[in-house]
């Protein structure tokens, strides 16, 4: 597949998940899919993850800020926004609107995603949810 085709697969995945269409995963996820960040395997593993996120952040929306591809790999920088309307890691819904950024790595073989790994700015998300209070660096470090 071409670099542009691989990027199109990633964009399609994101667009459909933004609509809540988890059925797209049956089409785009390889049977041997692995997500090392969350230890997810196969289409059902990633569906369970997205189901949880759609329940926690009811209006979740991912925006691609930048996307690059090389060989069978695609990376994209993103921003997610949503409203915290479901329990998340033991935290009761706060109703707060939140945003976080991150980078996803994808590996695509024959039009199917075989691997996806993620790095998120969870510190900022937890701060927005009120889980932690971040006061900045001490004066002597500034």
Q: Tell me the CA distances in angstroms from 15 to 3, 4, 63, 118, 141, one per residue in order.
A: 18, 16, 9, 18, 42
Residue-averaged pLDDT of the chain: 93
Rounded to two decimals, the pTM is 0.88
Query: Which of 24-33, 36-45, 115-124 reaches the highest mean pLDDT?
Result: 24-33
Give bridge partners of residue 83 from the DSSP assignment: 97
Cβ–Cβ under 8 Å, residues 99 and 128: yes
CATH 3.10.450.50 fits 3-129, yes or no: yes
Over residues 51-106, the pLDDT tens digits come to: 998 999 989 999 999 999 999 999 999 999 999 999 988 999 999 999 999 999 99
């Amino acid at each position: 597949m071409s670099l542009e085709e691989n990027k199109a697969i990633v964009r399609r995945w994101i667009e459909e998940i933004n609509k809540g269409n988890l059925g797209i995963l049956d089409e785009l996820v390889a049977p041997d899919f692995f997500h090392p960040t969350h230890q997810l395997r196969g289409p059902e593993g990633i569906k369970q993850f997205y189901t949880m996120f759609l329940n926690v952040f009811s209006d979740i929306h991912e925006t691609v800020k930048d996307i690059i591809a090389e060989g069978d790999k695609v990376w994209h920088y993103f921003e997610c926004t949503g409203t915290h309307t479901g329990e998340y890691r033991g935290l009761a819904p706060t109703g707060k609107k939140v945003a976080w950024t991150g980078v996803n790595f994808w590996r695509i073989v024959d039009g199917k995603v075989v691997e996806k790994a993620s790095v998120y700015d969870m510190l900022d998300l937890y701060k927005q949810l009120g889980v932690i209070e971040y006061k900045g660096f001490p004066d002597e470090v500034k």
